[in-house]
Structure 1
Amino acid sequence: MTYSLINTKMSTAEVTEISSESPVKPEDLKTVQLLAKGVMEIYEPPLATLNTHLKELTEKQEAVHNMISSERRRLEDLQNDAMLDALLADIATNKEKLTSITNSMMTVHKRVQSLQVRAANVEKVAKSKSQPKPTS
């Protein structure tokens, strides 16, 4: 006898339609229904518990996936930020300009110092020439 998809709530006519190969005896029908009921009683609670656990795990997995995805997007945004790249390029350019200006200022400062020394020497010479020489 072939029985497939037997539900405990199926009527005798429905079982007869499913198994059209041979006539169904009422004792066989009752036995099949009792077996189906027993199997359902044994496996239904653990399956329901497993289903609940699977739903919880799926929800947690989705939450973790969403967190990882948002973090990845945030990191990509930081790495691909054109404004940040432009600012970093400006920093390098400004550093070069600052170094150039600093060197120029040092050169000007040295030149000013040497001109001050020269001016002091010229002033001494001018003072010494402007003072009358004592005649002996």
Structure 2
Amino acid sequence: MESTTPTNEEDAKTVKLLAKGLLELYEPPLTTINTHLKELTEKQEAVHSMITSERQKMENIQNDAMLDALLADIATNRERLMALSSSMMQIHKRVQSLQTRAANVEKAAKNRAASTAASQSKPASS
């Protein structure tokens, strides 16, 4: 049993030395890789933030374009409304003029009928 204990101690020392050697060998590259990963993660977050900001700007621009289109429609519809209103006012004036003319024609027809009736009822003495 005594012979196995020194071997175990030697094995433990060997394992510790191998572990220390592996750590010395791989720790600097792993530290460097960890640093690079942190930098890349930060850059990725910055790019993601920029993309999100640009996407929001594009959505705002699209909304502005839609709003501009709606405002253009309002202007067009207002022009149409004004044209219709003007046409309706002209038609109203024509209707009033025609009503006045019709009343004058009716009055003239009544006067003519009355004068014809009066001339027929007068004896032809002259």
Q: Select which of 27, 31, 47 maps to 1:101.
A: 47
Q: For 2:10, which of 61, 65, 68 is the aligned residue?
A: 65
**Residue 129 in 1 paired to residue 112 in 2?**
no
Superposed displacement of residue 93, structure 1: 1.1
Structure with greater proportional helix content: 2
Please report how far the alpha carbon of residue 62 of structure 1 lies from its aligned counterpart in structure 2 after TM superposition.
Answer: 2.1
Q: Which has the higher contact order (CA 8 A, sep 6+)?
A: 1
Alignment of 1:82-93 (within 5 A): 82-93=28-39
Residue in structure 2 matched with residue 48 of structure 1 by the alignment: none
CA positional deviation for 1:79: 5.0
Equivalent position amino acid for 1:109 in 2: R
**What is the match of residue 90 of structure 2?**
none
CA separation in 1, counterparts of 2:63 and 2:76?
A: 20
Larger Rg: 2
**Unaligned 5+ runs, structure 1:** 1-55
Displacement of 1:117: 1.4
How far did 1:76 drift? 4.2
TM-score (norm 1): 0.49
Corresponding pairs, count = 81
Matched, 1:119 2:65: yes
Identical columns (%) = 10
Q: CA RMSD in A?
A: 2.2
Distance 1:99 1:79 in 2: 32
Q: Deviations over 1:25-67 (max 9, x none)?
A: xxxxxxxxxxxxxxxxxxxxxxxxxxxxxxx414422223213
Alignment of 1:3-14 (within 5 A): none
Mark the runs of 5 or more structure 2 residues left unpaired by the alignment.
Answer: 86-126
Shift of 1:89: 1.7
